[in-house]
Amino acid sequence: MFGLMQDRPLLISSLLTHAERYHPASEIVSVPCEGPVVRTDWAGIARRARQMAQALQRMGVKPGDRVATLAWNTHRHLELYYAVAGIGAVLHTVNPRLYPEQIDYILNHGGAEVLLFDLPFLPLVDAQMDKLPTLRHAVVMTDAAHMPAGRDDLVCYETVLAAEDGALVWPSFDERQASGLCYTSGTTGNPKGVLYSHRSTVLHAFLCCAADGLHLSRADATLLAVPLFHVNAWGIPYASAMCGAKLVLPGLKLDGQSLYDLARAEGCTLSLGVPTVWIGLFKYLDEAGIDPATLPFERVLIGGSAAPRALLRRFHEAGVHAFQAWGMSETSPVATVATLLPHQQALGLDGKLDVLTRQGRAMFGVELKIVGEDGQELPQDGSASGELKVRGPWVTSGYYGGVGGQVLDADGWFATGDVARIDTEGFVTLTDRAKDVIKSGGEWISSIDLENAALGHPAVEAAAVIGVYHEKWQERPLMLVVRKRDTAPEPAEIRAVLEDKVAHWWLPDAIVFVDSLPLTATGKLDKKAMRAVWKDYLATA
């Protein structure tokens, strides 16, 4: 017998309708690429999203069609999040930091007929245009005053928006309809598309607003330091409408000074971003002689790659509760969140950091397990380590267009490609990505632990550990270190810090100083690029 409750679909448009009705004056602050700052609110976003939805329909966009963006964090990009999904089309956010060939592949594979982009990407779009046979409309996300002269082939965002009256009623449809498309960075093989649904997106938004989730609420003013093209900015654009939080969109400026100034000016309580962004923020504060205690944040979520202990410590010493979450494009992305349990609240800072350097515990809806190389489930005892598998209503069941074939096992588990331990309380500790694992004489060495330890040395700005060829052990760790400006530590000093923290046989065979480390398009250490350069270092050194 079925229950007798209403079967109302969970639609993305309902988030915006709610924000417009209950939080109309909650502010949205945006720094468009061509400046100056735009101040609007949820009522303004809702009105303009309806106008833009009408404009898209006028361009011929129908349910199921993909609409692509190459854009930074601005109010216009936020409007598209709702305008596109609201009419049943699919928002395909493309990462503009990828190589042009990857962008070309991703745009073609997504098959969008409409592409909207920020002005700085005009040269990129011009170079791609003739490689995109499906493209019918190229829309510049700017106003008439900033439109490139003499370009009849381009459409102006503000002009087409202004031509509509906004009298659109969001259509209702099946909550399982696709709403968004993001491609994984494709560090192995071609990028693969993850296709989100309205249902998965709304359920994920509840998790962001849950107290033991990301705890987003109406009381927050969130500085979005994670790009809208990086896994839906971790779900915050949707969750912010759900709870009516103020949202601050920094445009293309994610450097330390811009983030600090904007956060202070707007009284931001929360921010989210990858470790590189926060390392850049502290670098700015240190060089400018600014006391980190002047940061306005109450909370900072660090994700995308492991949050270094030294970084978490700096935030906590400044009175900011920094914590981390783990996830991936395939998990919408948040799957685990590191929240202190009641018995951990009273711990001193070091004890708390022991908890917060882990990737966290599964939220309701997410199931986790680890398996050994034979595929058998391993105990969650804090010491066994294996590949992490995940299952849940905001976890992918396959890639767009069937790429990669069947990705779930017979019981519906998705293999993440991450290697982890899970302790008896359910805390996940990630040790590596499977493809970055360092296997020395058949035993695994955690690059994350080694990097974390190195970052504990005050002169280390960045550190990366990769496995390189070794005659006897097949692979041994090599550590690449970027030193802070005006410091000159010797390898032995860094080694001494590591010796305190990790098993002796884990110690890198060499510590090499470099000027910078290559990053991926999502701001993570690009170990594939490092291995290409350094793979024979020990054999030839």
- Select the residue interacting with ligand ADP from 231, 249, 263, 438 (CB under 6 A): 231
- Select the residue interacting with ligand ADP from 416, 429, 431, 440 (CB under 6 A): 416
Minimum distance of ligand ADP from residue 307's CB (angstroms):
6
Check residue 418 for interaction with ligand ADP (CB under 6 A).
yes
Place of tokens 């009175």: 319
Minimum distance of ligand ADP from residue 314's CB (angstroms):
17
- Select the residue interacting with ligand ADP from 14, 51, 142, 185 (CB under 6 A): 185
Tell me if the bond preceding 333 is cis, omega within 30° of 0: yes
- For 478, the enclosing helix (H) or strand (E) is strand 474-483
Distance from C-alpha of 503 to C-alpha of 374, rounded to nearest angstrom: 26
Kindly report the number of other CB atoms within 10 A of residue 370's CB atom: 21
Check residue 304 for interaction with ligand ADP (CB under 6 A).
yes
Minimum distance of ligand ADP from residue 418's CB (angstroms):
5
Q: Work out whether strand 361-362 and strand 334-337 pair parallel, antiparallel, or are unpaired.
A: antiparallel
DSSP state letter for 103? H
Which of positions 495-524 make contact with ligand ADP (CB under 6 A)?
520, 522, 524
Minimum distance of ligand ADP from residue 427's CB (angstroms):
12
Check residue 128 for interaction with ligand ADP (CB under 6 A).
no
Check residue 303 for interaction with ligand ADP (CB under 6 A).
yes
57: nearest Cα among 153, 170, 225: 170
Residues 6 or more apart from 123 whose CB is under 8 A from it?
Answer: none
- Select the residue interacting with ligand ADP from 269, 329, 385, 440 (CB under 6 A): 329
Distance from C-alpha of 75 to C-alpha of 48, rounded to nearest angstrom: 10
SS3 of 137, please?
strand
Q: Is 185 or 258 the residue whose CB approaches ligand ADP more closely?
A: 185
Report residue 324 CA to chain centroid gap: 12
Question: Is residue 370 a contact partner of residue 387, using CB atoms and an 8 Å limit?
Answer: yes
Give catalytic residues, as residue numbers. Answer: 184, 330, 439, 444
- Rounded to 5 degrees, what are φ and ψ at 464? -140, 140
Kindly report the number of other CB atoms within 10 A of residue 298's CB atom: 16
Q: Is 235 or 489 the residue whose CB approaches ligand ADP more closely?
A: 235
- Select the residue interacting with ligand ADP from 170, 206, 282, 326 (CB under 6 A): 326
No. of helices (H) and no. of strands (E), the chain: 16, 25
- Rounded to 5 degrees, what are φ and ψ at 481? -130, 135
Check residue 53 for interaction with ligand ADP (CB under 6 A).
no
Considering only the stretches 38-46, 122-130, 284-292, 319-327, report the one whose residues sit in contact with ligand ADP under the rule CB under 6 A: 319-327
Q: Is 20 or 330 the residue whose CB approaches ligand ADP more closely?
A: 330
Considering only the stretches 172-180, 237-245, 302-310, 341-349, report the one whose residues sit in contact with ligand ADP under the rule CB under 6 A: 302-310
Considering only the stretches 100-108, 196-204, 300-308, 500-508, report the one whose residues sit in contact with ligand ADP under the rule CB under 6 A: 300-308
**Interface size with ligand ADP, residues (CB under 6 A):** 22
Tell me if the bond preceding 36 is cis, omega within 30° of 0: yes
- Select the residue interacting with ligand ADP from 109, 204, 433, 476 (CB under 6 A): 433
Q: Is 290 or 415 the residue whose CB approaches ligand ADP more closely?
A: 415
Considering only the stretches 38-46, 184-192, 218-226, 290-298, report the one whose residues sit in contact with ligand ADP under the rule CB under 6 A: 184-192
Question: Is residue 335 a contact partner of residue 480, using CB atoms and an 8 Å limit?
Answer: no
Backbone dihedral region of 382: left (phi > 0), alpha (psi from -120 to 50 degrees) or beta? left
- Positions in the binding site for ligand ADP (CB under 6 A): 184-185, 187, 231, 303-306, 324, 326-329, 333, 359, 416, 418, 430, 433, 520, 522, 524
